[in-house]
A and B are shown apart, each in its own frame.
Chain A
């Protein structure tokens, strides 16, 4: 709990950074299909 209090703003910034990278990835790669049909997830 003490760590949470001490690093509260660190946590907010790091989570925000992850979210920003994810949003960038989401919009930057939002294009018509450009990779082969692939179904590695089985």
Chain B
């Protein structure tokens, strides 16, 4: 009798759950064939383009020679896993610049020809033949950016290295998810994403402002590691003889009264104290009263094509200051 009761309870728990999950996965896949959802695209990016690096300081990098459509735009990687064409290691007559950064530098959500990397390469080449290599990888922090440069970028012997810093670059190196199937099921991604949004709605401490500000507080582990990485890159620039500079990219939620002015001030002060030229782009964006007009989509605050154009405009002369 007890066994029969247990079977009935098990039936009523697991059968409807299984039916619902299978049905919801199918409905979501139909919905996603016509709509783009940022978190789903990010999970596809993780599954299709990211591979683990044997170097724990790099964590992950892009699969070489891969191609995928993400956020509705093609994203193709070269033999080194950069979102760029293959270039010979031997430098030609042109000036060579390497851009380091995260998904913003990668050009997440915008076509290659609309990225600030591509626009700057074209504009710089009008003055002098210039080749820009884009080493931007989604989810990177400063430690990963610098270590990717050491591993894959330094061999290209650049004349200049520009690190595009974003407020979350002081995060610790991300760990691989403990749930291996997470990125493969849309319903799991959906619940994960929407539960985060729900929590942010009811608890301000889970929102982006508190999260980013906390990265720079006393005792937070990421910012001191970013500082170490900056110093390592500075030492490398002196050793190899390339010009090093840093551009601070704005967070695009609130630009008139920028909520991270204190944190970016902290970053800029550190860089200046260590003789690393820095340009904070935030003041240049202060006239943008409708920041969402700079977003890739409503649920994705990465810079869109117009924002990339502005970043290129405000960065251009800074890259020439060495001349």
Q: Is the CB of B200 within 8 A of A34?
A: yes
Chain A residue nearest to B188 (CB atoms) is A41
Q: How far is the CA of A26 from the CA of B206 in the complex (A)?
A: 19
Q: Is the CB of B192 within 8 A of A41?
A: yes
Residue B66 at the A interface, CB < 8 A?
Answer: no
Residue B262 at the A interface, CB < 8 A?
Answer: no
Q: Is the interface of B mostly helix, strand, loop or mixed?
A: helix
A3-B8, A29-B198, A40-B177 known; A35 vs B206 contact (CB < 8 Å): yes
Kindly state the interface size class of chain B when it binds its partner.
35 or more
Contact with A along B144-175 (1 / 0, CB 8 A): 00000000000000000000000010000011
A15-B23, A39-B174 known; A3 vs B194 contact (CB < 8 Å): no
Choice from B20, B175, B207 contacting A18 with Cβ under 8 Å: B20
Q: How far is the CA of A22 from the CA of B17 in the complex (A)?
A: 13
Q: Is the CB of B20 within 8 A of A39?
A: no
Q: Is the CB of B168 within 8 A of A34?
A: no
- 9-residue interface stretch from B111-119, B264-272, B277-285, B295-303: B295-303
* Residue picked from A3, A18, A42, most chain B C-beta under 10 Å: A42
A3-B11, A33-B38 known; A39 vs B196 contact (CB < 8 Å): no
Q: Which residues of B contact A36 (CB under 8 A)?
A: 168, 207-208, 211-212
Q: Is the CB of B299 within 8 A of A32?
A: yes
User: Which residues in A have some Cβ–Cβ distance to B below 8 Å?
Assistant: 3, 7, 10-11, 14-15, 18-19, 22, 25-26, 28-29, 31-42
Q: Is the CB of B194 within 8 A of A41?
A: no
Residue B182 at the A interface, CB < 8 A?
Answer: yes
Q: Is the CB of B298 within 8 A of A19?
A: no
Choice from A14, A22, A26, A35 contacting B200 with Cβ under 8 Å: A35
Q: Which residues of B contact A10 (CB under 8 A)?
A: 12, 16
Q: Is the CB of A41 within 8 A of B174?
A: no
Residue B103 at the A interface, CB < 8 A?
Answer: yes
Q: How far is the CA of A6 from the CA of B137 in the complex (A)?
A: 55
Q: How far is the CA of A38 from the CA of B195 in the complex (A)?
A: 13
